Amino acid sequence: MHSMKLLVTGGMGFIGSNFIRYILEKHPDWEVINIDKLGYGSNPANLKDLEDDPRYTFVKGDVADYELVKELVRKVDGVVHLAAESHVDRSISSPEIFLHSNVIGTYTLLESIRRENPEVRFVHVSTDEVYGDILKGSFTENDRLMPSSPYSATKAASDMLVLGWTRTYNLNASITRCTNNYGPYQFPEKLIPKTIIRASLGLKIPIYGTGKNVRDWLYVEDHVRAIELVLLKGESREIYNISAGEEKTNLEVVKIILRLMGKGEELIELVEDRPGHDLRYSLDSWKITRDLKWRPKYTFDEGIKKTIDWYLKNEWWWKPLVDERILHPTPWKLKW
């Protein structure tokens, strides 16, 4: 396989940092430029081990900065777009920043590619939340978009921009939509790391509503392998759902974590539900399995054990990130 120079946006975040580390381990002759504005969900500690790697370059900057982005786009063969505000609770109280990053940022990137390097391979990483919730069955790539939060609305808008620019300007772009990710380096405000951290500190574990909301869980390493496959083998103007088919209610997830950590279920505390909380997400990932031969490597039981182990061994990473706001039981009520 020929060497590749990649621009990764949002590479100091959870999925981005896992993707960069995976790519540089697997492809010794590839180079990666990482642009990240170092917002709240980004953490330079995620890639501290790569600081001296000559194949890796970090650029602090906003993906919505056209002058900066156009210079970077000129230098690369591929772009993987992960930069996004992604926390639903924050989008409820502070939607403006989601519009800036997720919509204007994607527009700026597309315009830079169109004007400066229209041959570049582009993968736009999106989310299952653009479909809304589904009570039975699973969404396919052909289903309509029905976002139910400011976050998912901005991601759906960015998907539409990618499809529109790709068709109008004949760009070489694909979209991926994944289910809920978990694994090392996930910001502590998300359900799984928040549960592990609060349990390790002997604190109550808040669960929204009844805890019956269902999510389809995907270990982050399986996700980054899928992104790599789409980058190398995906068809332009195609959308690929990525799911491991590991459906669990939030209550089940928390109970599994507590059991594996040797903690009692009396730590569980049901709290007020957030507005517009989707009941169930589920994706059909037959297309990426059929066309690109992707399959998940980890079951939820395997992935969650690896994840708990990582957080318990890496307090140095999460302790500086944790405060009362991050671990708040109902963060959607806070003004961020």
Task: Answer yes or no: are the C-beta atoms of 211 and 250 closer than 8 Å.
Answer: yes
CB 178 within 8 A of CB 242: yes
Read out DSSP for 236-250? TT-EEEE----EEEH
Q: Is 14 annotated as a binding residue?
A: yes
Question: Is 86 part of any known ligand binding site?
Answer: yes
Catalytic annotation, pick one of 56, 107, 131, 151: 151
Active site residue 129: yes
Residue of 31, 128, 228, 278 marked active site = 128
Question: Is 36 annotated in some ligand binding site?
Answer: yes
Q: Is 226 annotated as a binding residue?
A: no
CA-closest candidate to residue 88, choices 5, 148, 30, 17 = 148
39 is in an annotated binding site: yes
Residue 181 labelled as part of a binding site:
yes
Residue 155, token pair as written in the block: 């991601």
CA neighbor of 228 nearest in space, from 5, 7, 19: 19
15 is in an annotated binding site: yes
CA trace torsion 291, 75, 69, 6 (10° rounding):
40
Residues present in the chain in total: 336
Q: Are 82 and 8 in contact (CB under 8 A)?
A: yes
Tell me whether residue 50 is annotated as binding: no
Catalytic residue among 85, 129, 189, 246: 129
Q: Is 75 annotated as a binding residue?
A: no
* Residue given tokens 């400011």 in the structure block: 150
63 assigned to a ligand binding site: yes
Q: Cβ distance 236 to 166 under 8 Å?
A: yes
Residue 128 falls in the annotated catalytic set:
yes
* Residue 62 assigned ligand-binding role: yes
Annotated binding residues, written as ranges, equal 14-15, 36, 39, 62-63, 82, 84, 86, 151, 155, 181
Catalytically active residues, by annotation: 128-129, 151
Binding-site residue ranges for NAD(+): 14-15, 36, 39, 62-63, 82, 84, 86, 151, 155, 181
